[in-house]
Amino acid sequence: MWRRLRTNRAFQVAAGTSFAQYFRLVAHTTRFTVEPANIFETIDARMPVILTFWHGQHFLTPFAMQPHHQAKVLISRHADAEINAIAAEKLGVGTIRGSGATSPRDFHRKGSVSATFELLDTLASGINVAMTADVPKIARKVGLGVVTVARYSGRPIIPVAMATRNRITLKSWDRASLNLPFGRGAAVVGDPIYVDRDVDEAGLKAARDQVQHALEAITARAEAIAHGAPSNGLITRRTKAG
Whether residue 62 is preceded by a cis peptide bond, meaning omega within 30 degrees of 0, is no
**CA pair distance 71, 241, nearest whole angstrom:** 12
More confident residue, 101 or 211: 211
Give pLDDT, residue 238.
47
For residue 196, pLDDT beyond 90: yes
- pLDDT at residue 6, as a whole number: 75
pLDDT tens figures, 93-139: 999 998 754 444 444 445 578 899 999 999 999 999 999 999 878 88
Rounded distance, CA 183 to CA 111, Å? Answer: 38
Report the C-alpha gap between 185 and 224 in whole angstroms. 10
User: What pLDDT is attached to residue 1?
Assistant: 65
pLDDT at 135: 86
What is d(CA 217, CA 135) in angstroms, rounded to the nearest whole number? 18
CA angle 221, 223, 225 (to 5 degrees): 70
Dmax of the chain from CA atoms?
A: 51
Does residue 105 sit in helix, strand or coil?
A: coil
- Of 150, 138, 122, the closest CA to residue 210 belongs to 150
- SS in 3 state form for 170-193? CCCCCCCEEECCCEEEEEEECCCE
E strand or H helix that includes residue 169: strand 167-169
Task: Name, in order, each residue with C-beta under 8 angstroms of 59's C-beta and a sequence gap of 6 or more.
Answer: 19, 23, 176, 177, 178, 179
- 20-36: b (≥16 Cβ within 10 Å) or e: bebbbebbeebebbbbb
pTM of the model: 0.90
Quickly state the pLDDT bin for 153 (edges 50, 70, 90): very high
| Selection from 189, 194, 153 nearest residue 42 by Cα | 189
Domain ranges of the chain: 2-236
Q: Is 239 helix (H, G, I), strand (E, B) or coil?
A: coil
CA distances to 33, 117, 155 from 124, in Å = 31, 10, 9
